[in-house]
Structure 1
Amino acid sequence: MTKRAFITGITGQDGSYLTELLLGKGYEVHGLVRRASTLNRSRIDHLHTEPNLHLHYGDLTDGVSLVNLIREITPHEVYNLGAQSHVKVSFEMPEYTASTDATGTLRLLEAIRAAKIDCRFYQASTSEMFGATPPPQKESTAFYPRSPYGAAKLYAHWVTVNYREAYDLFAVSGILFNHESPRRGESFVTRKITLGVASIVLGVTDHLTLGNLDAVRDWGYAKEYVEGMWQMLQHDEPDDYVLATGRGTTVREFCEFAFAHAGLNWEDHVRYDTAYERPTEVDALIGDASKARDVLGWKAGTDSEALARLMVDADLEQMGRLLGRNA
């Protein structure tokens, strides 16, 4: 039997890596795509000839489209990766963030329940739900979100737990700590840094402007984290898992890693601007993924320093190609 998976957020970083993983395992993959005046499918363009990949227009803010798609596709696995996922933007667009991230998850769960199909559901939870709670953070750590994004994701997390307990739905939440890659959005700090390095090396600019350099994050490689998502849905019992490296790195240290890899001193090029600060800051997120290691056999293999080097190399190659020259 060919398994069918339905992925929201398929055009995003995680969605593209998960799609590659599932197609490689022989799945028939269906993805939710928001209709827009311009195409934004660059992360999955290389998969457009795959006969087992099917894209559908819809939106997490439109419950009717979700109900119709779930009934039409009858997926065996649903991965809810779609979200407004930028923390700072969530302060500027709190209502949209709540509608997409919080009630969007509820709409999807209701679509599955209404269709009465036997499927397994993965919810993309986030370390931002821990917020102000001191590290290390694990599955039993108290939540204390510090942004509209974190609060919306916390609602989605708990409503997933509720549907698991109330309707006996195989529903899990992956509480993923920061995971990055060359496919990370350009407004996220790690990608902003590695793109900045490439721009400076190639002579496009001579500086990079950032906000809080003291924030500590647990940065891992997104390609490894989607394997953990899949493993959660293959386990016998539904449960929630933290995925993380267990290593904390400051934004300043990530700058050091990235610039040093290109033979540069970060202090010569990085400028600070309060405009990039959040109204409320999350000081430190460092995950304890021992449960995922012990139960699923999952373990992060790429630390923040290796990740910075990997991303710098990719951005140098990509930007060099766009500029018509090699780094």
Structure 2
Amino acid sequence: MPTKNQDPPTRRTIRRALITGVRGFTGEYVRDELLQAGYEVHGTLTRADLERQPPAEHEHVLDITSVHECRRVIGTIKPTHIVHLAAISFVAHDIALDMYRVNVLGALNVLQACIDVGCHPGKVLIASSANVYGNAAGVIDESAPPAPVNHYAASKLAMEHLARTWSDKLPIVITRPFNYTGRGQSGRFLVPKIVSHFTQRRPFVELGNLDVARDFSDVRMVAKAYRALLESFAVGETVNVCSERPRTLREVIDIVREVTGHDPEIRTNRAFVRDNEVKVLVGSAAKLRRLAPFVTPIDFGETIRWMCGAGIDVERPLTLEPSP
């Protein structure tokens, strides 16, 4: 019992994070980052995820396109922080309407559910994409006018615009990650496809345009950036997450060749070249450095060495866009 002149003991504030799409490539790294920081981490998964593995503790099945289900999950968890990652991120997805239902409606349902159930998180981080910039030239900062060139980017931009209509009710931060990669990323994506062919000593690898250039980051850095932004004072901001270092596919191949010591034939497959291909995409991380000064890029060569230590499944077709 405290004495008359003592304050009563205070309970440690529980930081309870909800990650939508927790079993996705990015979700697993963000979950680990937040767990290490002492958060109680809850995550959502789809019913399709259950076919591969039953839900673990603090995992919740959610159809993100249903506002009723979003209310149920958010009302049950009452998160203090939300990281919204659930999305269709594969540019060549066959049904464009799915992208808008999941990427736009899904995000809006999460925000609406917070209001409906009286949940007031300290921060809501929503992952968009640098693909909203389209074929913008030079080093792109957040003031560059969006110019999406495919349904994936258009759906992300629509999501951004509509999410901002909740900015007077919820503390929202929108991230625009440029390309990033790491262990566990699907072989549909560029770098893991290249890594898998080299580590498996394949005789050749088929790629698209070798001269496109991307700003590649390490998924571990992205997870740290998301945590830092959750804990920052940033509200109502749109933030690039990037390395500021563009690399062509030829450069990527050279790095993987050096790390693995394998030299397969590189074939150009026209089926992997899109007419609306974004030729060069490189971002400015000035705002990220200001808001999260302790988050620094990981050398891309180190990322490749890390990835070459693990087997990666190869799937097709190939895409260059990041996997949220």
- Name the TM-score, length of structure 1 as normaliser: 0.86
Structure number with greater Rg is: 2
Aligned pairs (5 A) from 1:40-59: 40=52, 53-59=57-63
1:131 aligns with 2:134: yes
Say how many residue pairs are matched.
300
Report the equivalent of 1:114: 116
| Contact map agreement 1:292 1:298 (CA 8 A) in 2 | no
| Contact map agreement 2:234 2:291 (CA 8 A) in 1 | no
Report the equivalent of 1:144: 147
Where 2:139 maps in the other structure, the secondary structure is coil
Report the equivalent of 2:10: none
Q: What is the RMSD of the two structures over their aligned residues, measured on CA atoms? A: 2.0
Task: Decide whether aligned partners of structure 1 residues 41 and 206 sit closer, same or farther in structure 2, where only a CA change above 3 A counts.
Answer: farther
| Contact map agreement 1:71 1:115 (CA 8 A) in 2 | yes
1:225 aligns with 2:216: no
- Among candidates 258, 261, 274, match of residue 259 of structure 2: 261
5+ residue gaps, structure 1: 320-327
Which structure is richer in relative contact order (CA contacts within 8 A, separation 6 or more)? 2
Aligned pairs (5 A) from 1:47-86: 53-86=57-90
- Among candidates 246, 267, 273, match of residue 271 of structure 1: 267
Deviation at 1:315, TM superposition (A): 3.0
Matches of 1:41 and 1:273, distance apart in 2: 35
Deviation at 1:41, TM superposition (A): 5.5
Deviation at 1:26, TM superposition (A): 1.8
Matches of 1:153 and 1:172, distance apart in 2: 14
Deviation at 1:73, TM superposition (A): 0.8
Matches of 2:161 and 2:67, distance apart in 1: 19
1:188 aligns with 2:189: yes
Give % identity.
26
Where 1:240 maps in the other structure, the secondary structure is strand
- Among candidates 27, 30, 47, match of residue 18 of structure 1: 30
| Contact map agreement 1:249 1:304 (CA 8 A) in 2 | no
Report the equivalent of 2:311: 315
Report the equivalent of 1:158: 161
Matches of 1:27 and 1:55, distance apart in 2: 14
Matches of 2:24 and 2:49, distance apart in 1: 18
Matches of 2:95 and 2:251, distance apart in 1: 30
| Contact map agreement 1:11 1:41 (CA 8 A) in 2 | no
Matches of 1:183 and 1:112, distance apart in 2: 31
Matches of 2:102 and 2:233, distance apart in 1: 30
Report the equivalent of 1:250: 248
Bigger fraction of residues in helix: 1
Deviation at 1:33, TM superposition (A): 0.8
Deviation at 1:143, TM superposition (A): 0.7
Deviation at 1:163, TM superposition (A): 1.2
Matches of 2:49 and 2:170, distance apart in 1: 37
- Among candidates 32, 51, 59, match of residue 44 of structure 2: 32
| Contact map agreement 2:229 2:291 (CA 8 A) in 1 | no
Deviation at 1:111, TM superposition (A): 0.8
Task: Decide whether aligned partners of structure 1 residues 208 and 41 sit closer, same or farther in structure 2, where only a CA change above 3 A counts.
Answer: farther
Matches of 1:171 and 1:213, distance apart in 2: 37
| Contact map agreement 1:185 1:191 (CA 8 A) in 2 | yes
Where 2:308 maps in the other structure, the secondary structure is helix
- Name the TM-score, length of structure 2 as normaliser: 0.87
5+ residue gaps, structure 2: 1-12, 315-324
Deviation at 1:35, TM superposition (A): 0.8
Report the equivalent of 1:304: 300
